[in-house]
Structure 1
Amino acid sequence: MMAQGDIKKVVLAYSGGLDTSIILKWLQTELGCEVVTFTADLGQGEELGPARRKAEMLGVKEIYVDDLREEFIRDFVFPMFRANAIYEGEYLLGTSIARPLISKRLIEIAEETGADAVAHGATGKGNDQVRFELGCYALNPDIKVIAPWRDWQLKSRTELLEFAQMHQIPVPKDKRGEAPFSVDANMLHSSSEGKVLEDPAEEAPQYVYQRTVDPMEAPDEATTLEIGFEKGDPVSLNGVAMSPATLFAKLNDYGRDNGIGRLDMVENRFVGMKSRGVYETPGGTILLKAHRAMESITLDRDAAHLKDELMPRYAKIIYNGFWFSPEREMLQAAIDKSQEHVCGTVKLKLYKGNVMIVGRASPASLYSEELVTFEDDNGAYDQKDAAGFIRLNALRLRTLAKRKQLLNK
Structure 2
Amino acid sequence: MGLKLMSLRDFFFFFNSTTTTKLFAFPTDQAASLAGGVVTLSIARVPATAAPRGAASPRAGNGQSLRLGRGTCREEEWAGRWEWGEEGRGEEGRGRSEEGRKRLAPPRPQVAANAERLLEGAGPRGGACAHGPPPCPPATTPRALPPGPELITRDARRNPPCSADCCRRWSPVTMSGKGSVVLAYSGGLDTSCILVWLKEQGYDVIAYLANIGQKEDFEEARKKALKLGAKKVFIEDISKEFVEEFIWPAIQSSALYEDRYLLGTSLARPCIARKQVEIAQREGAKYVSHGATGKGNDQIRFELTCYSLAPQIKVIAPWRMPEFYNRFQGRNDLMEYAKQHGIPVPVTPKNPWSMDENLMHISYEAGILENPKNQAPPGLYTKTQDPAKAPNSPDMLEIEFKKGVPVKVTNVGDGTTHSTALELFLYLNEVAGKHGVGRIDIVENRFIGMKSRGIYETPAGTILYHAHLDIEAFTMDREVRKIKQGLGLKFAELVYTGFWHSPECEFVRHCIAKSQERVEGKVQVSVFKGQVYILGRESPLSLYNEELVSMNVQGDYEPVDATGFININSLRLKEYHRLQNKVTAK
Determine whether 1:397 maps to 2:573.
yes
My pick for the range that moved more, 252-261 or 213-222, is: 213-222
Match of 1:20 in 2: 191
Match of 1:249 in 2: 426
Shift in alpha-carbon separation, 1:276–1:404, aligned structure 2, 3 A: closer
Deviation at 1:297, TM superposition (A): 0.9
CA distance in 2, matches of 1:33, 1:376: 77
Deviation at 1:195, TM superposition (A): 1.2
CA distance in 2, matches of 1:130, 1:7: 24
Letter in 2 for 1:10: V
Deviation at 1:313, TM superposition (A): 1.8
Equivalent of 1:147, from 302, 308, 317?
Answer: 317
Deviation at 1:244, TM superposition (A): 1.1
Determine whether 1:133 maps to 2:309.
no
Secondary structure at the aligned position of 1:266 is classed as strand
Determine whether 1:322 maps to 2:499.
yes
Determine whether 1:97 maps to 2:267.
yes
Deviation at 1:94, TM superposition (A): 0.4
Structure 1: unaligned runs, 5 residues or longer:
none
Match of 2:440 in 1: 263
Letter in 2 for 1:229: F
Deviation at 1:6, TM superposition (A): 7.7
Equivalent of 2:400, from 207, 225, 228?
Answer: 228
Determine whether 1:189 maps to 2:361.
yes
Match of 2:248 in 1: 78
Deviation at 1:216, TM superposition (A): 0.9
CA distance in 1, matches of 2:178, 2:560: 77
Shift in alpha-carbon separation, 1:6–1:133, aligned structure 2, 3 A: farther
Map Cα deviations across residues 39-60 of structure 1 (whole Å, 9 max, x no partner): 0111012221111111121232
CA contact (8 A) 1:251 1:286 kept: yes
CA distance in 2, matches of 1:128, 1:268: 14
Instruction: Describe how 1:255-294 pairs up with structure 2 within 5 A.
Output: 255-294=432-471
Map Cα deviations across residues 352-409 of structure 1 (whole Å, 9 max, x no partner): 111000111111110000111001233x111111111111111121122333344427
TM-score, normalised with respect to structure 2: 0.67
Determine whether 1:384 maps to 2:560.
yes
What is the root-mean-square deviation in Å for CA atoms of aligned residues? 1.5
CA contact (8 A) 1:100 1:131 kept: yes
Map Cα deviations across residues 294-337 of structure 1 (whole Å, 9 max, x no partner): 10111100111111122222111100100000110111111000
CA distance in 2, matches of 1:243, 1:322: 28
Letter in 2 for 1:51: A
Which structure has more RCO (C-alpha within 8 Å, separation ≥ 6)? Answer: 1
CA contact (8 A) 2:195 2:230 kept: no
Task: Give the count of matched residue pairs.
Answer: 404
Larger proportion of helix: 1
CA contact (8 A) 1:125 1:271 kept: yes
Identity %: 48
Match of 2:379 in 1: 207
Determine whether 1:8 maps to 2:182.
no
Match of 1:216 in 2: 388
Deviation at 1:241, TM superposition (A): 4.7
Equivalent of 2:478, from 297, 301, 305?
Answer: 301
My pick for the range that moved more, 241-250 or 395-404, is: 395-404
CA contact (8 A) 2:437 2:529 kept: yes
Letter in 1 for 2:332: T
Letter in 1 for 2:346: P
Equivalent of 2:234, from 64, 68, 72?
Answer: 64
Match of 2:340 in 1: 166
Letter in 2 for 1:381: Y
Secondary structure at the aligned position of 1:173 is classed as coil
Letter in 1 for 2:564: G
CA distance in 2, matches of 1:124, 1:296: 41
